[in-house]
């Protein structure tokens, strides 16, 4: 916000320019707010990207089921974030700590008039309170969507929805409050610009817990070998990947929290270079590992690069971005192979993309950051704290659901597909006129 304050200060030096100063401040607020709303819209469209990727990599018989979960997830995310998540994540710690609750905010949110001029103090006042809520709510819903793809094709819809309700409504905002809300990790010096850990790794840990407890799909592992289950639509997976890449312009660009031209431009350059390098790393690693030009790994490599660059997109140089993204693309292939060897069935590679590369990107801040205050040890502590909390919480939620309502569909339903049994319709239907 230095550029904003500098412009206002220059005008303020002229006594007769008081009105001009006020107009300039209002113009800057409007500019920042419009940019943040555009970024919110771009993050929102990422849900369509996730839906397309998961549907493309999933089997045709489960298309409606996957789309249903991806449609309801942002609905749950928005409502739970409005009810409690927003105020748990930004509680206004009087002193940095691990637990705090908003002393005010609920009534202001629900009963203030729509045109209330309320700005967000913890976001430097660069845009309105309402914009901040909506932008952050999109992040919350994104975290839950990560889990959906990993456990697709065999999880009960109701079990997934109940898990999402608690994970997004309580666990995600609690962990987020420790850094973005001014809590203990923030005070410690932990840094996560746009969520490699707070969004992606948290979602990845939830996905890993789900994969472990739900178990692999029928026929996925035979005699110790992973059996490929071809996706329904590779073109749809490609479309979804590019939609996610597009959404990252808002995900990282909006995390600047203003329309600062220099910083936003730098962040977007670093973001795109990380994505391109990730795709390159995935392409080369898959070629050496499988001796083929694996499009799926190129797509996941792009996403891996994006996840990896997100923790420090504002403190990485373009050269560092290329290296970080390239390593992320290699790691996503290694992680996918390792999960198969461990007989952990992740339909879309969510654990490899979001957890493995989220960890890598967060630790990379301690290695490549241009800010000398960023420490590798501090980053490692933050990753461990957030990871332990997210995984244990997700595992507990899934385990309680498993021993109560159950989390897995019947064998018969899984074999014939969830679309017909859970939803009564199929995703792909061809009708011939007689």
SS (H, E, C) the chain: CHHHHHHHHHHHCCHHHHHHHHHHHHHHHHHHHHHHHHHHHHHHHHHHHHHHHHHHHCCHHHHHHHHHHHHHHHHHHHHHHHHHHHHHHCCCCCCCCCCCCCCCCHHHHHHCCCCCCCECHHHCCCCEHHHHHHHHHHHHHHHHHHHHHHCCCCECHHHHHHHHHHHHHHHHHHHHHCCCCCCHHHHHCCCCCCCHHHHHHHHHHHHHHHHHHHCCCCCCEECCEECCCCCCCHHHHHHHHHHHHHHHHHHHHHHHCCCCHHHHHHHHHHHHHHHHHHHHHHHHHHHHHHCCCCHHHHHHHHHHHHHHHHCCCCCCCHHHHHHHHHHHHHHHHHHHHHHHHCCCCCCCCHHHHHHHHHHHHHHHHHHHCCCCCCCHHHHHHHHHHHHHHHHHHHHHHHHHHHHHCCCECCHHHHHHCHHHHHHCCCCCCCCCCC
Of 106, 131, 96, 104, nearest to 117 (Cα)?
A: 131
Measured CA to CA in angstroms, residue 354 lies from 98, 249, 312 at distances of 24, 17, 15
Contact between 56 and 234 under an 8 Å Cβ cutoff? The reply is yes
Q: What is the residue-level pLDDT of the chain in tens, covering all 434 positions? A: 555 555 555 555 555 556 777 777 777 888 888 999 999 999 999 999 999 999 999 999 999 999 999 999 999 999 999 988 888 888 777 678 788 766 555 656 776 666 555 554 445 557 888 888 899 999 988 888 899 999 999 999 999 999 999 999 999 999 999 999 888 999 999 999 999 999 999 999 999 999 999 999 998 898 878 888 888 899 999 999 999 999 999 999 999 988 889 999 999 999 999 999 999 999 999 999 999 999 999 999 999 999 999 999 999 999 999 999 999 999 999 999 999 999 999 999 999 999 999 999 999 999 999 999 999 999 999 999 999 999 999 999 999 999 999 999 988 888 888 888 888 888 887 655 54
- CA angle in degrees (0–180, nearest 5) for 241-243-245: 70
Looking at residue 350, what is its pLDDT?
94
**Consecutive H or E run containing 287:** helix 261-290
Q: Exposure pattern of 26-43 as b/e (b: 16+ CB <10 Å)? A: eebbeebbebbbebbebb
- Report if pTM > 0.75: yes
CA gap 355, 373 in Å, rounded: 25
Of 354, 326, 327, nearest to 198 (Cα)?
A: 354
Looking at residue 121, what is its pLDDT?
44
CA gap 180, 166 in Å, rounded: 20
Measured CA to CA in angstroms, residue 315 lies from 107, 206, 226, 245, 271 at distances of 37, 28, 40, 20, 11
Of 390, 389, 407, nearest to 398 (Cα)?
A: 407
CB neighbourhood size of 238 (10 A): 17
Cβ neighbours of residue 113 closer than 8 Å, sequence gap 6 or more? none
CATH superfamily of domain region 19-423: Ammonium transporter AmtB like domains (1.10.3430.10)
Tokens of 137: 């709510």
The domain limits of the chain are 19-423
Looking at residue 120, what is its pLDDT?
45
Contact between 161 and 72 under an 8 Å Cβ cutoff? The reply is yes
Tokens of 141: 């819903």
């Amino acid at each position: 916000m230095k550029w904003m304050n500098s412009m206002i200060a220059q005008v303020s030096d002229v006594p007769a320019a008081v009105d001009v100063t006020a107009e300039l401040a209002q113009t800057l607020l409007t500019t920042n707010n419009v940019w943040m709303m555009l970024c919110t819209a771009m993050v929102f469209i990422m849900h369509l990207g996730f839906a397309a990727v998961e549907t493309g990599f999933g089997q045709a018989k489960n298309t409606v089921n996957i789309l249903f979960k991806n449609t309801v997830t942002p609905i749950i995310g928005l409502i739970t974030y409005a009810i409690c998540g927003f105020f748990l994540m930004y509680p206004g710690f009087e002193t940095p700590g691990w637990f705090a609750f908003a002393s005010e905010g609920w009534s202001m949110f629900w009963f203030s008039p729509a045109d209330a001029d309320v700005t967000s103090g913890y976001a430097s006042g660069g845009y309105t309170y309402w914009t901040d809520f909506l932008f952050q709510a999109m992040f919350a819903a994104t975290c839950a969507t990560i889990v959906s793809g990993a456990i697709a094709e065999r999880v009960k819809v109701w079990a997934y929805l109940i898990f999402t309700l608690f994970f997004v409504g309580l666990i995600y905002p609690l962990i987020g409050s420790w850094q973005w809300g001014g809590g203990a990790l923030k005070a410690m010096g932990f840094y996560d610009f746009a969520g490699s850990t707070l969004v992606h790794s948290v979602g990845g840990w939830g996905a890993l817990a789900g994969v472990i407890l739900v178990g692999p799909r029928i026929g996925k592992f035979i005699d110790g070998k992973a059996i490929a289950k071809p996706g329904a639509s590779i073109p749809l997976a490609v479309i979804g990947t590019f939609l996610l890449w597009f959404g990252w312009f808002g995900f990282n660009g909006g995390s600047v929290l203003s329309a600062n031209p220099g910083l936003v431009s730098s962040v977007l350059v670093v973001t795109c270079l990380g994505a391109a390098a990730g795709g390159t790393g995935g392409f080369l690693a898959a070629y050496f590992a499988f001796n083929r030009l694996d499009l799926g790994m190129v797509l996941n490599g792009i996403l891996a690069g994006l996840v990896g660059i997100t923790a420090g997109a504002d403190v990485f140089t373009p050269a560092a971005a290329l290296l970080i993204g390239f390593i992320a693309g290699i790691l996503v292939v290694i992680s996918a192979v390792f999960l198969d060897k461990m007989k952990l069935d992740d339909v879309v590679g969510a654990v490899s993309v979001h957890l493995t590369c989220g960890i890598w990107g967060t630790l990379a801040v301690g290695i490549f950051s241009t800010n000398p205050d960023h420490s590798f040890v501090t980053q490692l502590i933050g990753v461990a704290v957030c990871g332990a909390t997210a995984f244990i919480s997700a595992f507990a939620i899934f385990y309680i659901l498993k021993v109560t309502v159950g989390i897995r569909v019947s064998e018969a339903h899984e074999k014939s597909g969830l679309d017909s049994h859970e939803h009564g319709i199929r995703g792909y239907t061809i009708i011939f006129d007689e």
